[in-house]
Structure 1
Amino acid sequence: MSLAVSIFSADDVASHLGELGGLLHACVHDGASIGFVLPYTQAEAEAFWRDKVLPGVREGTRIMLVASKDGRIAGTVQLGCDTMPNQPHRADVNKLMVHPDYRRQGIAQLLMRELEARARDLGRSLMTLDTRTGDNAEPLYTALGYKTVGVIPAYARDPFGSDRLDATTVMYKLL
C-alpha cells in the first residue's frame, strides 16, 4: 500500500473536484466539525473546493497538501498564508481531514508534519488553528506540540444540524 503526500496546484484541485468533494462530503457526514452542517450534498462539497479553496491556491495564498493511498485521495490539509502585513511570520492550519476509510493510519500526523515543513520553507514560524473542543483532532495537535490558548464557548453549530453550539479550542505552535 503506497502512501504519498503532494502539493496540489490549482490545476490539480480543478481536475480532482469530484474526489475532493467526496472526501469532504464523507467527513461531514461522519461528524467532522469543519464548517458545514447536514444536510450537505456532494455538489455543495465540490463547490467549496472550487469557490473557496481553488482561488487561494491559484493566487498562492493557500497551499494544499493531499495524501493519496493506492491512487485514492485519503486526506488533505491547507496552509493559509494570506496574513496581514504585520504577520508575515504566521500561517493558519485549515481543514485537516482524513477520509473515514483511512483514519487511524497516521495520515493526519503525516499531513501536519509536511504542512509544518512547508510553512518553515516559507519563513513562517508560528502556526495557529482552532478545533472543536473534545474532538478527535485535539489530542493529535497536542501530541504534535500545539499549545492551547483557550476555549471559546458556543463557537459553531453541531455538524449534525442540531441547535447545539460546540466550543472551539484555539491552539498555536512555534516552529
Structure 2
Amino acid sequence: MITRLSTADFAAAVPALGEVLADCTNGGASVGFLAPLDAASAGAWWKGLADDVAEGRALVWAAWDGTRLVGTVQVRPAQLPNAPHRGELAKLLVHRDARGRGLGRALLAEAERGARAAGITLLVLDTETGSPAARLYAAAGWTEAGTVPDYAADPSGTLKPTTFFYKSL
C-alpha cells in the first residue's frame, strides 16, 4: 500500500524513513549521502524536512508492507514565481529487502499522479548514470535531458556522472 504522508504521519514516520535512507545509501544508492550512514543521522535529515512537508514544499509518499515502511518518494513543487507548473521528483527509495516487487515503479506512478493532482505538469529529476534508477525512469517514459560528468559522489565518495530526466504529465 502507498499513502501520502500528512504532516502528523510524516513526523511519526521519520525513524522508519531514516532506516530506508540509510539502507539504500549503505547499499550503494547515490542519493546524496556517503556510507556508512546510520539510521539516526538519516532520520535527522528527514526531520529537517518537517516544515517543507507542513507547508507543501515537499509532498511525501510511503510504501508499506503491512505496518512496515519499506519505500518512499517525494515531489518538491518549484517555489519560483515563474515555475508553478514544475516540480522535482526526489528520493525514490526502496529498502533492499523489499525490492523486486514493483514498489519503485508503483511509488513513481503515485508521485506522478499526486504531482498532476497538485497542478504540476512537468517533473524533473537527476540520478546516477547507468544506475537501476536510471533504467526505471527510462522504462517509465521519462526523457533523458543530458548527462553531467563527475556531478556527484556515490556513497563511497567516488565522483560519478549524473543523468537528468524530465517528464511532461
Question: Normalising to structure 1: TM-score of the pair?
Answer: 0.93
Gaps spanning 5+ residues in structure 1: where?
A: none
Deviation at 1:83, TM superposition (A): 2.7
Instruction: Check whether the contact 1:21–1:46 (CA below 8 A) recurs between aligned residues.
Output: yes
Aligned length: 169
Structure 1 range deviating more: 108-117 or 11-20? 11-20
* Residue 172, structure 1, aligned to residue 166, structure 2: yes
Q: 2:66 aligns with which of 70, 81, 87?
A: 70
Residue by residue over 1:4-24, the C-alpha shift from the partner in whole angstroms, topping out at 9 and shown as x without a partner, is 110101211211222111111
Alignment of 1:89-128 (within 5 A): 89-128=85-124
Structure 1 counterpart of 2:168, one-letter code? L
Per the alignment, residue 148 of structure 1 pairs with 144
SS at match of 2:97: helix
Instruction: Check whether the contact 1:67–1:74 (CA below 8 A) recurs between aligned residues.
Output: yes
Residue by residue over 1:39-69, the C-alpha shift from the partner in whole angstroms, topping out at 9 and shown as x without a partner, is 3222210111101x22210111110000101
Deviation at 1:122, TM superposition (A): 1.4
Q: 1:9 aligns with which of 2, 6, 19?
A: 6
* Residue 20, structure 1, aligned to residue 17, structure 2: yes
Instruction: Measure, in 2, the Cα distance between the counterparts of 1:108 and 1:5.
Output: 11
Question: Normalising to structure 2: TM-score of the pair?
Answer: 0.96
Structure 2 counterpart of 1:6, one-letter code? T
Per the alignment, residue 57 of structure 1 pairs with 53
Instruction: Measure, in 1, the Cα distance between the counterparts of 2:77 and 2:91.
Output: 14
Instruction: Measure, in 1, the Cα distance between the counterparts of 2:144 and 2:51.
Output: 31
Per the alignment, residue 31 of structure 1 pairs with 28
Instruction: Measure, in 1, the Cα distance between the counterparts of 2:108 and 2:39.
Output: 26
Instruction: Check whether the contact 2:129–2:147 (CA below 8 A) recurs between aligned residues.
Output: yes
Instruction: Check whether the contact 1:91–1:124 (CA below 8 A) recurs between aligned residues.
Output: yes
Indicate the RMSD between aligned Cα atoms, in angstroms.
1.0
SS at match of 1:83: coil
Instruction: Measure, in 2, the Cα distance between the counterparts of 1:8 and 1:173.
Output: 23
Residue by residue over 1:77-116, the C-alpha shift from the partner in whole angstroms, topping out at 9 and shown as x without a partner, is 0000133111111111010000000111100111111111
Instruction: Measure, in 1, the Cα distance between the counterparts of 2:55 and 2:119.
Output: 18
Gaps spanning 5+ residues in structure 2: where?
A: none
SS at match of 2:105: helix
User: Which aligned runs of 4 or more in structure 1 are off by greater than 3 angstroms?
Assistant: none
